[in-house]
Structure 1
């Protein structure tokens, strides 16, 4: 069995996170790395003429100033090379912006007012913390159907999932994001991703494991030990 991640954001009043006015911008959360696909999101922004905000560190560097003053040793980091080679050429400060790592409150304001969060993943993402946070804030999720996303996102109800690498389908999903009910995103998170729900799932999993262990132990024949004289 398995237990999904949780977020305290899902434990508040049902519509509290959905009251913020919604803009047209899209958000990509997470460290800047090829696995997260920020270059795909940035290219999509220019193609669709929609603003995209990239939020997350580049390697160990959490701000543009840190990265700019890091010196030549920064280039030894593969995520930094990815940034300079594939992402930075698309970041113009207007259509595509990199805001570095944000404090939780600022991140939540940005996500809750976004049209959607983007996850054009290039690997089998196992966790999905940013996914459940987005849904808890009432913001639909758009991404590739891989890793944990099919378990967390109901395509057509709380977001859109498309086949990995299909950028045309990803673009169509962005165009169709207004068809997703943001209240439903929030409601789904409240039902599935609260800390209390996660605790219940862990307890159920532990009970299952203990019961299975007890049955296995009962089925193993015991051998009498020789007397100790």
Structure 2
């Protein structure tokens, strides 16, 4: 275990506030978990983030409020991103022992940070981060401390000419998730609603199996047409105005297959949805790096049926905690969802406990902090 107490600065992206009741935001949730772990271990934890954040540690504010929709590339949004980066560099160079960035827009500026620093890569943007577009930056990454959240993500960046030193899987507070042995008779789709997340596959799977489907998630700002044309026509009940999402579903009239839209969900609302679902469907069409929802489902004792994209196969023990299906194989997803009753919920929970706890994630990062601090110290002598 790491004994030395450190002054740690995490740098969050500018899009969403860092706080406990995050409705959507995978990266922001990881920053929150690390902040909590560092505080519990007695470290001095700070976060550079928009001023509407409420971390457990000290907030180092960057911009007045989070930008919001990360798909908005207007002039104001671009200016706010630049302001956020400028402010984070100021905070980073104010005497921290280690600086841990989670915003890949900081990659070109990482060398400007005076303290030992690292950048966690949470996603991959193949049209942008390629050595042919940024040959000098790609070469400079040989001297930077880049971390990927999955081995698959590390391979993707390395194929594009970037050097990634470490891999740390994300973690969650497993014991905070409701565990249930007995499941209710519905399938669950939970996450951002967009064509790349493949929600239409979940709809088709539920209809083929004549099962209820609960769709939980916010609609991507640029994907209203997708929702209106491919998802909304199949929805039998919209209870997005209900605070109690599971209770709202259970209060619907019995009989007949239902496809229920419950809207975006926070931590309190999603936990009973995960715990009571027969199976969680994740038909993502992206090379998703390490989607946290897979861990959350396992922690709830609920098997996952997912397309085997990106780091997803690193998060599922095939045929024991869920099923990995070839991308786009609707028939495979239908068959796997049908077979999910063979999965023991206890195996799902144990897999999450053994491999994806937030304290394990924090310790992995602390070990990296120690390594890069020692390397930086040796260079000064």
SS of 2:167's equivalent in the other structure is coil
State yes or no: 1:179 paired with 2:323: no
Equivalent residue, structure 2, for 1:22: 183
Equivalent residue, structure 2, for 1:11: 175
CA contact (8 A) 2:186 2:278 kept: yes
State yes or no: 1:106 paired with 2:261: no
Which of 57, 73, 87 is the matching residue for 2:218? 57
Deviation (angstroms), 1:185: 0.6
Q: Deviations over 1:111-130 (max 9, x none)?
A: 10101111001111123111
| Distance in 2 of aligned mates of 1:136 and 1:32 | 23
SS of 1:4's equivalent in the other structure is coil
Deviation (angstroms), 1:213: 6.7
Q: Deviations over 1:172-228 (max 9, x none)?
A: 10011011111011011111111111111112333454567788x59xxx9xxxxxx
Equivalent residue, structure 2, for 1:226: none
| Alpha-carbon distance change, 208 to 151 in structure 1, aligned in 2, over 3 angstroms | farther
* TM-score, normalization by structure 2: 0.48
| Distance in 1 of aligned mates of 2:235 and 2:325 | 25
| Distance in 2 of aligned mates of 1:17 and 1:97 | 21
State yes or no: 1:2 paired with 2:163: no
SS of 2:287's equivalent in the other structure is coil
State yes or no: 1:133 paired with 2:296: yes
State yes or no: 1:147 paired with 2:302: no
Q: Deviations over 1:71-91 (max 9, x none)?
A: xxxxxx431111011111222
Structure 2 alignment gaps of length 5 or more: 1-165, 238-256
Superposition map of 1:181-220 within 5 A: 181-209=344-372
What is the CA RMSD across the aligned residues, in angstroms?
2.1
Equivalent residue, structure 1, for 2:325: 162
Structure 1 alignment gaps of length 5 or more: 60-76, 223-229
Larger radius of gyration: 1
Greater strand fraction, Structure 1 or Structure 2: 2
SS of 1:31's equivalent in the other structure is coil
| Distance in 1 of aligned mates of 2:201 and 2:358 | 32
Equivalent residue, structure 2, for 1:47: 208
Q: Deviations over 1:11-69 (max 9, x none)?
A: 35xxx83336311211111111111111111111111101111100113xxxxxxxxxx
Equivalent residue, structure 2, for 1:34: 195
- Aligned length, in residue pairs: 197
State yes or no: 1:80 paired with 2:243: no
| Distance in 1 of aligned mates of 2:370 and 2:347 | 31
CA contact (8 A) 1:7 1:133 kept: yes
